[in-house]
Amino acid sequence: MNYWAFHCNPSSWDSISELKEHNDGTWLIDKQHKNDIKVGDKFILWISGKEAGVYAFGEIADTPKLLPEAEERAKL
């Protein structure tokens, strides 16, 4: 089992709005690690900036994959 720290910089990505609008268990990740993240791994979601903090803890429930909607969200 691996532990992942997903860091989000609000000047690059509005993570708080993303959580509010798409609280469906999906999240955009860096393509560099998509083959390393496995079902059962644990994660922490850290957002930096003026509202910095830990916003989520969890367990990876599915193999990372590119979803059409996620691809569109990544372009924003």
Tens digit of pLDDT for each residue in 31-40? 777 789 999 9
E strands, the chain, where? 3-8, 42-47, 53-59
Q: Which tokens in the block code for residue 3? A: 């532990």
What's the domain count of the chain? Answer: 1
pTM of the complete model beyond 0.75 = no
Instruction: Provide the β-strand partners of residue 57.
Output: 44
Q: Which amino acid is at 15?
A: S
Range of the domain at 60: 3-75
Q: What pLDDT does 55 receive?
A: 87
